A and B are shown apart, each in its own frame.
Chain A
């Protein structure tokens, strides 16, 4: 069964450093998403992406964040200058269509630890 994959599974970085989190969505999916979950808190929407541009973003997704689809398979989230409060699980998801009813499939997540 096709699945969303994410690398690395755990990333440790120093405050102020740039990090890039990588995702490979399901191959025939067209819509991609990033979420984060701070330990013990709710899953929070960051951004959705379609046709090489951002479709929707939340208030969390400020200028420190960017997303890119650098090739036909990868979807990346870049945090330019990490802060302690960026420590969280980051989940990538993909869906076939951006209809309101479409199911999003989640990857296993990347745990980001900012020291």
Chain B
């Protein structure tokens, strides 16, 4: 069973701080990794995608991938109250066809 694991949280950070979200995955042949943000009752919204080892930055967001450790993370700099949401880690894996496996998500609260 291919799994994606995340700490469910909640993770609470003060406004302006860095929020660090982590994810591990079990399938070594996974090729692409995504971070989605989901507000309560809404659909997942893509924040970042990463495919190669190392860091990828987009505005206040940085995704980090370490395939050897099967680990992907998301850093949110200068956290804002509007960043309060559940962050979903998703992994594309191949099982004869591609499918996307989601983690259960980490709830983030940014305190004003």
Contacts and interface: CB of A to CB of B under 8 A. Distances in A.
Interface of A: 33, 35, 41-45, 48, 55-56, 58, 89, 91, 98-101, 103-109
A13 B90 CA distance: 31
A110 to B, nearest CB: 10
B10 interface: no
Contacts of B103: 42
Contacts of B99: 45, 48, 56, 58
B60 interface: no
* Nearest 5 A/B pairs, CB to CB: A56-B97, A43-B102, A106-B43, A100-B31, A42-B104
Given A42-B103, A43-B102, A101-B31, A107 B43 contact: yes
A56 B43 contact: no
User: Interface of chain B, helix or strand or loop or mixed?
Assistant: strand
Chain B interface residue bracket vs A: 20 to 34
Contacts, number: 59
Given A43-B38, A99-B98, 19 more contacts: A42-B102, A42-B104, A45-B101, A48-B98, A55-B97, A55-B98, A56-B95, A56-B99, A58-B99, A98-B97, A100-B31, A100-B98, A101-B92, A103-B34, A103-B49, A104-B46, A104-B100, A108-B42, A109-B43
